[in-house]
Each structure stands twice: as structure tokens, then as C-alpha cells.
Amino acid sequence: MPLGLEDKKRIVAEVNEAAGNALSVVLADYRGVTVEEMTALRRNARDNKVYLRVVRNSLLKRAVANTEFECIQDALTGPTILAFSQDEPGSAARLLKDFAGENDHFEIKALSIGGRLLAAGDIDVLAKMPTLDQARAMLMTVMLAPITRVARTVNEVPAKLARTVAAVRDQKQQAA
């Protein structure tokens, strides 16, 4: 059943809103993917806070116009599924990369972050970005390292003194 003008406007507005709130986008060709596999992908997308949608290329071009993802318009050929990362820049890339690894028919076409169009081969760069919690843990480790070294150094002074006194005591006991 063909889409009416109002339905098309609603889809364009919805995708435009998602693009305005997104941190990155990944485009893929989903030809050959079964309904069950697509349902599982959508479920995983909801769990990972990824906006996943199959949209006609003509509507998608209108939806991303005047957004930072306008650069993806050249990659819009053939059937396209798009995934916008809402919370973490790498979440959509991780999701679709894992799905593409499990499904031979699923092919990553392009991705974009920060207004730059990246080739499909660059998905590892985006997929390996740490999550927010991982980034915080890495930052805390870096911040705690100098404090930990100072604490160990300060603690070493009395320990070294105690070992020296014990060595002197042992020498006196052996001499007696």
C-alpha cells in the first residue's frame, strides 16, 4: 500500500528529530535478512537505545537535510536501514557490526559521525569507541595513578625504617 503525503511528512519529521538528537549514524543494506533476524536486530536496538528504521532513500534524503548527517546522502542507494546512536557514539556501530558478523547477507554501507562520512571499512573505529562507563573508568584510572604512587612512596618510608631497625636488631642478636 503506497504511503500518503501525510504519512511521508510524519516519517520525515520523525527521522529528522532522531537525526537531531543522534551522535552517529550507520547505514546498511539488509537484502536477504529474514524477518526473524530483523526482529531480533530491532529488539537489540531498543535494548541499546539505538534508533533503527527502514526508510525510503528519497524520504531519508529529506529527513537528513540541514543536519550534521547530510553527508550520507551520497550513500543512499538500494534498500537502506539506518541506525542512529542516541546515547553513545559507538552503540549503533557495535550493534550493526555484530549483526553483520552473524549474517552474511547484511552489509554495512557507510557511517557518519561529526558531519563526516566514513567508509564501511571504518566501522571498527566507531565500534571500538568506549562506552560512557568505560570512558569514565579509564579517566578515573588515569586520575588516580599519581595519587596511588604518592601513597605508596609515603608508605614506603616507615616500612623501610622498620626493615632497617629489624636488620640492626638481627645483627646485634647474632653478634651476642
Question: Which pLDDT tens digit goes with each residue over 12-58?
Answer: 888 888 888 888 888 888 888 889 988 998 998 888 888 898 888 88
Among 81, 95, 83, CA closest to 29: 81
d(Cα 105, Cα 138) in Å, to the nearest integer?
36
Backbone angles phi, psi at 113, to 5 degrees: -145, 135
Percent of the chain's residues with pLDDT above 90: 2
Give the model's pLDDT for residue 142: 82
Give the model's pLDDT for residue 17: 86
Give the model's pLDDT for residue 160: 82
d(Cα 161, Cα 159) in Å, to the nearest integer?
5
Q: From the CB of residue 94, how many other CB atoms can be counted at a distance below 10 Å? A: 21
Provide the CATH topology of domain 5-129: Alpha-Beta Plaits (3.30.70)
Summary count for the chain: helices (H), strands (E): 6, 5
Give the model's pLDDT for residue 78: 84
> What's the pLDDT tens digit per position in 51-106?
898 888 888 888 888 888 888 888 888 888 998 888 888 888 888 888 888 888 88
| 65, 137, 138 from 46: Cα distances, Å | 25, 25, 27
Q: Which residue has the cell 535478512?
A: 33
Average pLDDT along the chain: 83
Distance of CA 74 to the CA centre of its chain: 23
The full set of domain ranges for the chain reads 5-129, 131-176
Which residues, other chains included, contact 104 with Cβ-Cβ below 8 Å and sequence gap of 6+? Answer: 32
- Rounded mean pLDDT, 144-171: 83
| 7, 62, 101 from 45: Cα distances, Å | 23, 24, 16
Distance between first and last Cα of the chain: 105
Q: Which residue has the cell 504519512?
A: 7
> What's the pLDDT tens digit per position in 116-135?
887 777 777 767 777 777 77
d(Cα 88, Cα 76) in Å, to the nearest integer?
24
Quote the radius of gyration of the chain (alpha carbons, Å): 27
Give the model's pLDDT for residue 1: 60
Could you tell me the pTM of the whole model?
A: 0.69
Percent of the chain's residues with pLDDT above 70: 96
